[in-house]
Amino acid sequence: MDKTEFLAELRTQIATRAPEELRRTVSYFEEIIDDRIEDGMSETEAVATLETPAQIAESLAGIQTAHNPNSYDAAELHTINIRDLNCPVFIVPRSDSVYIEYHSHEKKRYDVDCSNGVLDVMAVSSMKWYDYIGFGRGNTTYRPFVLGVPESFCGRINIVTSNCDASVSDVKFSGGLNIKTSNAKMTFRNLKISGEISAHTSNGKVVAQFVECGLFDAENSNGRIEATHISCDTELSLATSNGRVEIQHIKAGKRIALHSSNGRIYGVIDDNMREFSVRSHTSNGSNSLPGDMPGGNKDLEVSTSNGSIEIRFAPN
């Protein structure tokens, strides 16, 4: 970034300030950069060693984020409900207790209630649309919500956020997970969850790798779904539109359903085709599966339009 770009970006970041104040702030930083250059720095160096315009805006706005960590006894909980917005969510393993960590600031608080085995965490935000311009006045809105889950947890986790990524990795527990976001990516890695995993997003991709669970249900729109090494006791359902569905080494006890429109569906199922009653359909594309083949103990439903279906079977 050179000086002009830096100052333009700074102007955007503090655009909501009074015009006179805006002018003063920009000229202050312009002077600092000029002085640094005069002192022997190159222009890029002078800019690079300053805080970023977003950080400066945050600092000037005086938004102080408070970091709030908290732990709960896993044995006392059967349900965890988290409602956040415009905040990335990470679910990670934790050795001893259920752990939550979030950042509040003057425009966003969290109401936390823990009673009768239910942990409720709800974000209450008074941020207006203009607070989000230019990545929301610094990074305050993008500090993640972290939920740590121990293996001893037994129950349900329901999480909703928006416009930000959600990621679940290396977690093991007995129970179910319901997770929702929008306009962002979702990642599931190295999971062992006895019950159902239900995932919803839009306009972002869904990636699942090495997941063992009772049931996996991922729904997306305008994004692709990649599922590798997924093993479900009962059902595996992957549905999107305007995106492809790619599977590698998936298996399920009762039913596999893969749906897209405007996307191709392809990959490998770790099973014998004869195990399945197959129903498949595409309108504009080749299809490697029989359209309607009854007889198996399990169901395989594959459908798309405007995309080909290329499914191979590799029993092991």
Partner 1 sequence: MDIQLKRGLLETCVLAAIADCDSYGYKIIKDLSGVVEISESTLYPILKRLESGGYLRVFTEEHNSRLRKYYAITKQGLERIPAFLAEWEEVARVVNYIKTNSEGGDKNG
Kindly tell me which residue out of 28, 67, 115, 126 binds partner 1, with binding defined by CB under 8 A.
28
Is there binding between residue 31 and partner 1 (CB under 8 A)? yes
Is there binding between residue 56 and partner 1 (CB under 8 A)? yes
- Tell me which stretch binds partner 1 (CB under 8 A): 35-43, 146-154, 211-219, 232-240: 35-43
- Tell me which stretch binds partner 1 (CB under 8 A): 53-61, 222-230, 274-282, 294-302: 53-61
> Helix/strand/coil (H, E, C) string of the chain?
CCHHHHHHHHHHHCCCCCHHHHHHHHHHHHHHHHHHHHCCCCHHHHHHCCCCHHHHHHHHHCCCCEEEEEEECHHHCCEEEEECCCCCEEEEECCCCEEEEEEEECCEEEEEEEECCEEEEEEEECCCHHHHHHHHHCCHHHCCEEEEECCCCEEEEEEECCCCCEEEECCEEEEEEEEECCCCCEEEEEEEEEEEEEEECCCCCEEEEEEEEEEEEEECCCCCEEEEEEEEEEEEEEECCCCCEEEEEEEECCEEEEECCCCCEEEEECCCHHHEEEEEECCCCCECCCCEECCCCEEEEEECCCCCEEEEECCC
Kindly tell me which residue out of 18, 19, 40, 62 binds partner 1, with binding defined by CB under 8 A.
62
Min CB(54)–partner 1 separation in Å: 11
Is there binding between residue 50 and partner 1 (CB under 8 A)? yes
- Would you say 27 or 42 has its CB closer to partner 1? 27
Is there binding between residue 60 and partner 1 (CB under 8 A)? yes
Please report, for residues 199, 200, 238, the alpha-carbon distance to residue 218 in angstroms, rounded to integers and kept in the order given: 5, 6, 5
Kindly tell me which residue out of 5, 35, 73, 111 binds partner 1, with binding defined by CB under 8 A.
35
- Would you say 62 or 295 has its CB closer to partner 1? 62
- Would you say 30 or 275 has its CB closer to partner 1? 30
Is there binding between residue 185 and partner 1 (CB under 8 A)? no
Is there binding between residue 39 and partner 1 (CB under 8 A)? yes
Give the count of residues interacting with partner 1 (CB under 8 A).
18
Is there binding between residue 40 and partner 1 (CB under 8 A)? no
Q: Which string of x and - marks every residue 237-256 that binds partner 1 (by CB under 8 A)?
A: --------------------
272 and 253 Cβ atoms separated by less than 8 Å? no
Is there binding between residue 129 and partner 1 (CB under 8 A)? no
Rounded CA separation 293/283 (Å): 18
Is there binding between residue 20 and partner 1 (CB under 8 A)? no
Kindly tell me which residue out of 13, 25, 140, 220 binds partner 1, with binding defined by CB under 8 A.
25
Which spans of this chain sit near partner 1 (rule: CB under 8 A)?
25, 27-29, 31-32, 34-36, 38-39, 50-51, 55-56, 59-60, 62
